[in-house]
Structure 1
């Protein structure tokens, strides 16, 4: 922490500093009372151990100023060091207590005003001349600037440290959730991070370039996991409580960002949301995974689907590839449109007579099996994501 030397060559007469030092306990109490009265954040701050720490810091600060005023410039930095360090540690303590740096600076301004009034009165009583009083006033406010800067520095350092620590704790929760850690481990991690578990979490795979802007649009309790080996140039967000009608807001937020949004799941089961989003991502299906459920279901076991497709389309295997492809395409449309010839023709951009001709061929190949529910089910699944003909 950088420190500046107090910008004054003022030296108070010894008898004045002795009188001021005798008044310090009362001045410190007056400063504390004024801060309590005028800064709402400090109304209850002076109770308990933290209150004693703040009172001690006030007396140390006032004493440090008088010590500097008793010495020549060459010794000021050394004499001020304890007070500056005390101000720095006070700033750190205030950050830990949850009070803002603005509240702390307000306390300094009010405290400086009270201290100046009390100490200047002592100076006048002891015959300090006007020129020295003017220098004394400059010294008081320069000293307060030094202390304020030290406290703000301490507050910022503590806030940054606390933020890094909390982020590490939050990252740990996300890692536990997506790696399937035991429930007690995840719950303990949430308690350490003081993170209130939501009802649900939704996994969202986000390009790294979009993470910052998207985080501004979602719940503050959103967890983040980076550098996952299965994600390339992307991060994972676990967004709290966007189930039901709230999902629409999340989908609008990710629109145009090349994100993949899994389903909402009870927070301890969010791994399943991530797995679905990851499978959709692998298949190039971005956006809402719930809009791609048929394809995700049909491709859940690629090997089984390939075997089913081969068995279901076996009657076409002896045909030329081009012919087999057209018949598979027609059969798929016929199944999806429940045999409505005109609808099948419109879907395939062919004449209804072409559909009739092709279906005659298919009935010759399949026989009565096209009327068998189990065969129809197998063909519907086999052709569900495309009319691929057998090799």
Structure 2
């Protein structure tokens, strides 16, 4: 049966351990200098108090793997609890400072490489054989991998917690805007959520299931809020500084209702317009509804009861006629108003002969008299029948 050579026992002389330990501050300085030079995110971050925190963490980690050699036991290769806790807290602190996990792991790689190079020089000068140096290097880098994994866990935990907290604040901000809360309250929420207020916001009403998809397509800085009036059927996107044509292209085919663009603190009116437009077009919805293309309909239907009363008032002279006659004359009056009395255009719209239009207009003039020539009546009749 084949026998494999035993791995060399890692045992450093006490004097060498003391020497390496005494050099740790200089090694840490070299590692930090290399991180500053090679990881751009840290270029200005390590000159102040945070730099000292990083140096202390490096010294703690280096001291830990110097002790690996002092113990002389390859199986005791897990970092001490203090080193693991320090690495975890380092990761959390870096997340709070806004640096990415990629930058943190890059700092670990650079720091490990430079630290080992510095320490390896001391080992070689002390006469440590090459096999032991190689075995020690393997152990050291495995040790650093564990520390970096612990830092990554701390970074991820902090990012998740802060992300959830910020999302809650963004949800509160969106609801406050849709509820029309005071500017002071809304601005305070925006500051707490670290959300930079835009010049304008545009409300877009979308099916709930499509909200997250459209958030990515339109602008990640948009606020995504459950529709207060939608009973979980719709969501509301509040899109900052939207270019309307670009926005309409982005939501094309997603059954969205695009509201008006308003100063960001006044976006409630944009949202309310999307709700009115949704009710107006509920039976004949197109894939995307641009409220700017339906302003006249929104105006005349803003008060349905008033519109009904106006229509009844305008059509009062026809009330005594039979239903069929009345319907034909209402249809003719509407076309006559919209085409400004052009008989041929009215006939083409109604698919009748111009003589038929002339006959019906005679009936209408008999019912209305001079009202058909009064601008105020023409305005009210156009609104009522338009």
**Common fold: TM-score over 0.5:** yes
Change in 2 beyond 3 A, CA 1:299/1:326: same
1 CA distance for matches of 2:183 and 2:8?
65
2 CA distance for matches of 1:31 and 1:338?
84
2 CA distance for matches of 1:45 and 1:354?
86
CA contact (8 A) 1:183 1:268 kept: yes
**1:202 shift after superposition:** 0.9
**1:372 shift after superposition:** 2.2
Query: How many residues get paired?
Result: 373
**Root-mean-square deviation (CA), in Å?**
2.1
2 CA distance for matches of 1:301 and 1:96?
52
The alignment partner of 1:202 has SS state of strand
2:253 — aligned with what?
Answer: 256
1:26 aligns with 2:26: yes
2 CA distance for matches of 1:67 and 1:257?
62
* 1:25-104 equivalent positions in 2, closer than 5 A: 25-71=25-71, 72=73, 76-77=77-78, 80-104=80-104
2 CA distance for matches of 1:177 and 1:191?
14
Change in 2 beyond 3 A, CA 1:231/1:241: farther
1 CA distance for matches of 2:11 and 2:122?
12
Moved more, 88-97 or 18-27: 18-27
CA contact (8 A) 1:21 1:63 kept: yes
The alignment partner of 1:216 has SS state of helix
**1:14 shift after superposition:** 4.6
1:144 — aligned with what?
Answer: 144
Cα distance per residue 1:260-308 (max 9 Å; x no partner): 1111111111111111111001222652101111111111011111111
CA contact (8 A) 1:255 1:287 kept: no
**1:99 shift after superposition:** 1.9
1 CA distance for matches of 2:269 and 2:111?
57
1:13 aligns with 2:15: no
CA contact (8 A) 2:10 2:74 kept: no
CA contact (8 A) 2:8 2:132 kept: no
2 CA distance for matches of 1:136 and 1:239?
56
1:165 aligns with 2:168: no
CA contact (8 A) 2:57 2:86 kept: yes
**1:190 shift after superposition:** 1.6
CA contact (8 A) 1:64 1:82 kept: no
Change in 2 beyond 3 A, CA 1:64/1:229: farther
Change in 2 beyond 3 A, CA 1:87/1:298: same
1:343 — aligned with what?
Answer: 345
**Unpaired runs of at least 5, structure 1:** 1-7, 385-391
2 CA distance for matches of 1:9 and 1:356?
113
Moved more, 275-284 or 210-219: 210-219
TM-score by length of 1: 0.89
2 CA distance for matches of 1:379 and 1:363?
14
1 CA distance for matches of 2:135 and 2:75?
18
Cα distance per residue 1:218-268 (max 9 Å; x no partner): 3343122125233552211111112xxx21111121222111111111111
TM-score by length of 2: 0.90
CA contact (8 A) 1:68 1:80 kept: no
2:272 — aligned with what?
Answer: 275
* 1:1-391 equivalent positions in 2, closer than 5 A: 11-15=10-14, 16-71=16-71, 72=73, 76-77=77-78, 80-230=80-230, 232-242=232-242, 246-284=243-281, 286-384=288-386
1 CA distance for matches of 2:168 and 2:256?
24
**1:75 shift after superposition:** 5.3
**1:49 shift after superposition:** 1.9
1:3 — aligned with what?
Answer: none
**Unpaired runs of at least 5, structure 2:** 1-6
2 CA distance for matches of 1:376 and 1:123?
101
**1:127 shift after superposition:** 3.2
Change in 2 beyond 3 A, CA 1:10/1:222: farther
CA contact (8 A) 1:263 1:273 kept: yes
Change in 2 beyond 3 A, CA 1:81/1:296: same
**1:89 shift after superposition:** 1.4
**1:347 shift after superposition:** 0.7
